[in-house]
Structures are given as structure tokens and as C-alpha cells.
A = this chain, B = another copy of it.
Amino acid sequence: MADPRFFKCEGGKTLDELAKLTGSEIRMPNGPLVTINDVAPLDAARPDEISFFDNVKYREQLRVTNAGACILSPAAANDAPASTILLLNESPYKAYARVAQLFYPEQKPAKMISPKADIDPTAKIGADCIVESGAVIGPGVVIGMQCRIGANAVISHAIIGDHVRVYPGCCIGQDGFGFAIDPAGHVKVPQLGRVIIEDHVEIGANTCIDPGAGPDTVIGQGTWIDNLVQIGHNVKIGRGCIIVAQVGISGSSVVEDYAVIGGQVGVAGHLRIGKGARIGAQSGIMRDVPPGVEMLGSPALPIKQRMRQVAFLNRMIKKDTD
């Protein structure tokens, strides 16, 4: 059970309710429909709690779980204990997400706009927004409805849609790294664009997003960005992308819809990463990536080639010592 000092559980849901919510089929081995009081991980769940199974690494935990119910794919049903009620679903993690949201709806702070936030009088904040302590929102910034701006985040030169969440410590819209190199003193290039953040975007803690230099920097609808990410000026990120922690995307590059960029990846400037491309963690992208391709390595290669390269090197060092 989640620590009640931090989380409030809305317990007491029926399995029927949970199955309907998630579009799952109930497989009930032994007896009456139980009431489910909470969600819990496989190895901690009790008979009145529901868990989920979605990663084969945890198959042993599934086999011995005490969870009263478990959400899993039909293919895994045989690995659950005979006494566990199953909610069969082809997307068990997504189904779990819905269930957990039902038990633990998002909590709102007592004061929606902290008196310790510093909001410029010319900024516009939409309805039902939360602005936490120490957040600094600059002149002219526009924020849509039901956004949450984390503590000590700093936002300027930005137009933000609805349902956007900015985590603590983010820096959005401060001048990017724009200058003409000169031994007598680099010459600053005025940064005249904005940061446009579309609806339902999440931006992780201490992430930095530079505004455009002339065009705008754009983060597309439903894209999720993790902590400590750097987004350079003029970058365009499409819809539904996933950008994992500590990624750096250099100026003027384009990331098309639904691309997934693994942790610590670096993307050089003025490139295009195609729709649905997947970039493995720590890769270095120095050329355009076609849509749907999976890349790995620095410099990155299509993943099969990179795997062959790694295998080749491993063989060579074995030979080398024979």
C-alpha cells in the first residue's frame, strides 16, 4: 500500500468495474468476485490487491504472487498461480495505468497558484492551473488550461497549450546558444523565436528548452520529455514522441511524430529523425534517420548492423588473444 503520508487511495473497487474500465476479460478460477482495495507490485501484493505482469524478467514473481488479481496478457495466463483472478488484456501495462489512476487520482495542492510563485502581470495563466512555489513565469508567457508548473521552474518566451506538465527546475525559453564565433569576443545573435508547447506534453525536472533563434522551437502534442534533457533552438519535435533522460538535441533538428529517443542520446544539428524511428540509448546521430528505423551506436547505425559490428569486435579480441 502506498504511503498514506503522500498518497490517498480510493479503495474498494469491484473487479467488474476494473474489467470494464480497461476492456479486460475476467478469468476467475475460484469463487465470488472480490473487492479490490489497492494496486501493488507482484512481490508485495496481498489477496485484496491487484497487480500486473508485463516484463518477462518478473515471471518468477508472477508464479508466486499473493495478489488477489493480476492484469496480464492471455499468453501469460498459465504462469499465474491457480488462485489468482486474471484480467486478460493485450496491453496489460496500459490497463494497469488506468486501474492505478482510478485508485490514486492526481492530488491537487491546497493553493493552486502558490503565493511564492512569481508570475509576470502580462503572463496569461489558463483555468485550473497549478503553479508551484518558486516558479518564475516571465512577461507575455501564455499557459493554457489545467497545466501544472513545477516548483522553481523558469519559463519565458513560451506559448503553452492545455494539460501540460512542467516539472520542477525546468528552464524553458531562455536564450539559446546563439552567437557568431570571434576571437575578439563571440557576438551574440538575438534569439527572436519562442517555445511552442502543444497540449498534453510532459517536461521532466531540470530539462532545458531553448527558444527559437528566428523560427520557433516546437514540442508537439502528447510528447513526453524526461529529466535533464537539452533541446536546442529551432528544434521541432512532433506528436507522441518519447525523449528519455539526458538526451541532447542540437539546434534546428526535427524529430517526427512518435519517435522514441533513448537516454543520453545526442542528435547533431539540422537533422531529421523520421516518424516512428527508435534511437537506442547513448547513440550519436550525425545523419538523417529514415522513418521507422531503429538506430544504435555512436556514430549510430541501423541496429542490426550495429549488433554485427559489436559481435565482430568481440570475435576479433578473442582471436587476438588466441
Q: A154, B154: Cβ atoms under 8 Å?
A: no
Q: List 6 A-B contacts (CB under 8 A).
A: A55-B270, A91-B180, A177-B244, A186-B224, A308-B321, A312-B313
A132 to B: closest C-beta gap in Å = 7
Partner of A210, one of B181, B182, B214, B227: B227
Residues of B within 8 A of A132 (CB): 136
Residues of B within 8 A of A53 (CB): none
Residues of B within 8 A of A27 (CB): none
Determine which residue in A3, A222, A232 has the highest number of CB atoms from chain B within 10 A of its CB, and name it: A3
- Contact A168/B171 with A140-B6, A183-B258, A205-B208 known, Cβ cut-off 8 Å: yes
Q: B232, A245: Cβ atoms under 8 Å?
A: yes
Residues of B within 8 A of A186 (CB): 222, 224, 240, 242
Would you give the 0/1 interface string for A188-223, flagging 1 where the beta carbon is closer than 8 Å to chain B? 111011100000101011101010001100000010
Q: A264, B263: Cβ atoms under 8 Å?
A: no
Residues of B within 8 A of A264 (CB): 248, 264, 266
Partner of A205, one of B171, B227, B310: B171
Seen from chain A, the residues whose Cβ lies within 8 Å of a Cβ on chain B are 2-3, 5-7, 39-41, 44, 55, 57, 91, 93-94, 96-98, 100-101, 103-104, 106, 114, 116, 118, 122, 132-134, 136, 139-140, 142, 150-152, 154, 156-157, 167-169, 171, 174-175, 177, 179-183, 185-190, 192-194, 200, 202, 204-206, 208, 210, 214-215, 222, 224, 226-228, 230, 232, 240, 242, 244-246, 248, 250, 258, 263-264, 266, 268, 270, 281-282, 284, 298-299, 301, 305, 308-310, 312-314, 316-317, 320-321
A40 to B: closest C-beta gap in Å = 7
A245 to B: closest C-beta gap in Å = 4
The CA of A193 and the CA of B100, in the complex, are separated in Å by 12
Partner of A208, one of B2, B189, B227: B227
In terms of DSSP, what is the predominant structure of the interface of chain A? loop
Q: B177, A167: Cβ atoms under 8 Å?
A: no
A306 to B: closest C-beta gap in Å = 9
Given contacts A230-B245, A244-B250, A308-B320, 17 further A-B contacts (CB under 8 A): A5-B139, A5-B142, A94-B187, A97-B190, A100-B190, A118-B151, A134-B134, A152-B154, A171-B205, A171-B227, A174-B205, A181-B242, A186-B224, A186-B242, A250-B263, A312-B313, A312-B316
The CA of A150 and the CA of B174, in the complex, are separated in Å by 9
A173 to B: closest C-beta gap in Å = 9
The CA of A257 and the CA of B305, in the complex, are separated in Å by 37
